[in-house]
A and B are shown apart, each in its own frame.
Chain A
Amino acid sequence: NAGVMQNPRHLVRRRGQEARLRCSPMKGHSHVYWYRQLPEEGLKFMVYLQKENIIDESGMPKERFSAEFPKEGPSILRIQQVVRGDSAAYFCASSPGFRYEQYFGPGTRLTVT
């Protein structure tokens, strides 16, 4: 039973470019969460999605960040016009339902140069 998959594992972008991070949940899981870990810090919640719906985006920066979880395919976290402060590890988690145990992927490490 495959775990949560994220790609790419490492992503380097120049300032002003776009970053697209992908997350495939565990089989049977329809709830996806994105978290961000800045260097030497804990993880911070960004957004919670179900298929085709954003349930809670209270942790998303107001500009440049967006997330989707389409009916088919992985969840996508999109960061437009990246800045150096966006450099972080971005983790995706999935669960089978509301308030169930969350399982984390290996993360995508974004470096903005």
Chain B
Amino acid sequence: GIQVEQSPPDLILQEGANSTLRCNFSDSVNNLQWFHQNPWGQLINLFYIPSGTKQNGRLSATTVATERYSLLYISSSQTTDSGVYFCAVEGGTASKLTFGTGTRLQVTL
């Protein structure tokens, strides 16, 4: 099956800093989604981005499908950005998401 790797595994930032999270996948994909799992465990949809670039406030994402990677940018980080960020892809003939192992982000004051 398709493999999804995320880097870095852990990230500590001071409030106000910017960061880039990376997601590499092993095969062509039909869909790609980014999620934020907050400290209460809830999964929040950030982007649905099988290709191209999207922006939503301080967050933006770019997927380069031909090179099999996606990037999530967080600018001017806030403590509420803390949590785990997951990349998930859907490939082949299936309609199911394969999740990466996540990037754990901690934003400190």
Contact = CB atoms under 8 A, between A and B. Distances in A.
Interface string B21-44: 000000000110101000001110
B109 interface: no
Given A101-B31, A101-B48, A48 B95 contact: yes
Interface in B75-109: 86, 88, 90, 94-102
26 contacts: A31-B95, A41-B101, A42-B86, A42-B102, A43-B43, A43-B97, A43-B99, A44-B99, A45-B98, A48-B94, A48-B96, A55-B95, A58-B94, A91-B43, A93-B97, A95-B95, A98-B95, A99-B95, A100-B31, A101-B33, A104-B45, A106-B41, A106-B42, A107-B41, A107-B42, A109-B41
Nearest to B49: A101
B41 A102 contact: no
Contacts of B98: 45
Dominant SS among interface residues on chain B: strand
